[in-house]
Amino acid sequence: MLNTVGFGLAFLAIALYGLWAPDFERAELQKRYGSSTTRMIDVDGLQVHYKETGPQDAPVLLLLHGFGSSLQTWDEWSVKLDPKYRVIRLDLPGFGLTGASPLNDYSEEKDVAILTHFADKLGLDKFSVIGHSMGGKMAWSLAAAQPDRVQALVLMAPDGFPEAKDFGTKPYEVPAVMGLVKYFLPKYFVKKSIEPAFADAEALNDALVSRYYDMLRAPGVRGAILDRSNQTIYTDPVPRLKKIKAPTLLIWGEQDQMIPNSNAQSYAGVLLNSTTILLPKLGHLLQEEQPEKGLKAVMKFLDAKLLEIKP
């Protein structure tokens, strides 16, 4: 007689084995996605992976990616920005080839400290910041902490402006069962998690999905993402936003399903000097869905604010 329980366990074991997704070796990912212009630098004990292109004497742009992403999200934009600007993009703490923080600290304060010390190590007295989503929150937090160093600020669907009732909550806290993603990561799951970030799901190609999938399997990243999710706490952004001196571009896709474009009004009501642009038929990932649309608006803003300013 067939032991149905044993058969069921065996079938489950085989199924899970098929979904088993251990971390990739760093060297393998560096081979796939690295280049001669990628570098590593120690910042407070964290080995930060970054890429620098463009003229050394040009105005500096610091590019900060969103949650679950990596510095490759800026590939299309960098090609067009490089001729005019010194473009520096990095894998933020917990992501890409930077990987997990040795201190397991993903607080707002630590994020700002890492970015500030990163700029210090590169000798950046003045710089501008482009930040997307989570990176947008880091961008405005950095601009608030370093108001005399940040020359211009581009916030692309930035996170971090909750309703007052949500102050003190953990918006990204995940149940313990999600810890399984450290061991099992179906590529289909990654694809479905990215789809809502696009207004047109057809724009989500296999190469882009593969890159996100691969970078989620960078050493320690999945565990770091879970730790960051459980450490993120919403706080009142208004006092910090009022410290920002830099002219700011707020840019959103009209069909953003991740962070609604109505948030732009909240930021604009607090920032001292801001301009808002809504892009039709675009979702959350402006720089990857239709890169040229968002970039055109961003370059117009940056050129007007920076090309007459010496770095």
**pLDDT grade for 13, boundaries at 50, 70 and 90:** very low
**Within a domain: residue 14?**
no
**pLDDT grade for 7, boundaries at 50, 70 and 90:** very low
**Within a domain: residue 38?**
no
Three-class DSSP labels, the chain = CCCHHHHHHHHHHHHHHHHECCCCCHHHHHHHHCCCCEEEEEECCEEEEEEEECCCCCCEEEEECCCCCCHHHHHHHHHHHCCCCEEEEECCCCCCCCCCCCCCCCCHHHHHHHHHHHHHHCCCCCEEEEEECHHHHHHHHHHHHCCCCEEEEEEECCCCCCCHHHCCCCCCCCCHHHHHHHCECCHHHHHHHHHHHCCCHHHCCHHHHHHHHHHHCCCCHHHHHHHHHHHCCCCCCHHHHCCCCCCEEEEEECCCCCCCCCHHHHHHCCCCCEEEEEECCCCCCHHHHCHHHHHHHHHHHHHHHHCCCCC
| pLDDT at res. 113 | 98
**Within a domain: residue 74?**
yes
Which of 150-154, 168-172, 202-206 is predicted most confidently? 150-154
Averaged over 10-14, what is the pLDDT?
35
**pLDDT grade for 171, boundaries at 50, 70 and 90:** confident
| Range name among 30-44, 214-228, 275-289 with the lowest pLDDT average | 30-44
**Within a domain: residue 76?**
yes
**Within a domain: residue 84?**
yes
**Within a domain: residue 33?**
no
**Within a domain: residue 26?**
no
CATH number at residue 261: 3.40.50.1820
Please give the residue range of the domain that contains residue 214: 43-306
Residue 290 one-letter amino acid = Q
| pLDDT at res. 309 | 55
Q: pTM here?
A: 0.92
Number of domains in the chain: 1
**Within a domain: residue 172?**
yes
